[in-house]
A and B are shown apart, each in its own frame.
Chain A
Amino acid sequence: MEKKIRIEKDIIECWNLLRAGDRKSFAHIYSFYADDLFTYGSYFSQDRDLVKDAIQELFIDIWRMRENLSATTSVKFYLFRSLRRKLHVLTETRTSFSTFDSEADLPEVISHEEEFMNRETQDGRLKQLHRLLSQLPPRQFEAIRLCYFDNFDLKETASIMQMNEQSVRNLIQRSIRHLRQLFTTIVSLFLFFYKTL
Chain B
Amino acid sequence: MDYSGFDVDDFIFDKAFTEWVRTGENDAFWQDLMQSQPLVSHKIEEAREIILAAASLPQAVLSAQEKQEMLQNIHQRIEEEEVVEDQPAVLTVFRKMWWAAAAVIIVAGWLTWKGTGSHSKEVTYEKLVAAEVKSAELQESVNTAEKPLLVNLPDGSSVLLLKGGRLSFNKANFNNTRREVYLSGEAFFEVSKNPEKPFFVYANELVTKVLGTSFTIRAFNDSKNVEVVVKTGKVSVFTQRDPEKEDKMKDNKLEGLVLLPNQQIVLERSQMKLSKSGIERPELLTLPAQKLSFEFDDVPFAEVAATMERSYGVEIIFDKELLGKCRLTAYLSDEPLNDKIRMICDALSATSEVADKKIFIKANACK
Contact = CB atoms under 8 A, between A and B. Distances in A.
Interface stretch (B47-55, B130-138, B211-219): B47-55
B46 A149 contact: no
A63 B57 CA distance: 32
A42 B55 contact: no
A34 interface: yes
B81 interface: yes
Contacts of B56: 126, 130, 195
B22 A151 contact: yes
Contact of B22 (A34, A48, A64, A195): A195
Interface in A19-63: 27, 30-31, 34-35, 38-39, 42-43, 48, 51-52, 55-56, 59-60, 63
Contact of B13 (A35, A52, A154): A154
A144 B23 contact: no
B67 A185 contact: no
Contact of A145 (B52, B54, B62, B70): B54
A196 B62 contact: no
Interface residues of B, number: 39
A133 interface: yes
A189 B58 CA distance: 24
Contact of B54 (A39, A55, A148): A148
A190 to B, nearest CB: 6
Interface in B328-365: none
Secondary structure at the A interface, as helix, strand, loop or mixed, is helix
B12 A172 contact: yes
Contacts of B73: 56
B53 A126 contact: yes
B25 interface: yes
Nearest to A184: B46
B74 A193 contact: no
A129 B331 CA distance: 74
A159 interface: no
Interface range on chain A: under 10, 10 to 19, 20 to 34, or 35 or more?
Answer: 35 or more
B9 interface: yes
A161 interface: no
A136 to B, nearest CB: 10
A191 interface: yes
Nearest to B15: A153
A173 interface: yes
B176 interface: no
Nearest to A37: B62
Contacts of B42: 185, 187
Interface in B106-154: none
A94 to B, nearest CB: 16
Given A52-B70, A133-B54, 8 more contacts: A34-B62, A35-B61, A60-B81, A147-B54, A148-B54, A148-B55, A172-B9, A179-B50
9 contacts: A1-B23, A31-B67, A39-B59, A56-B70, A60-B81, A145-B54, A147-B54, A148-B50, A151-B22
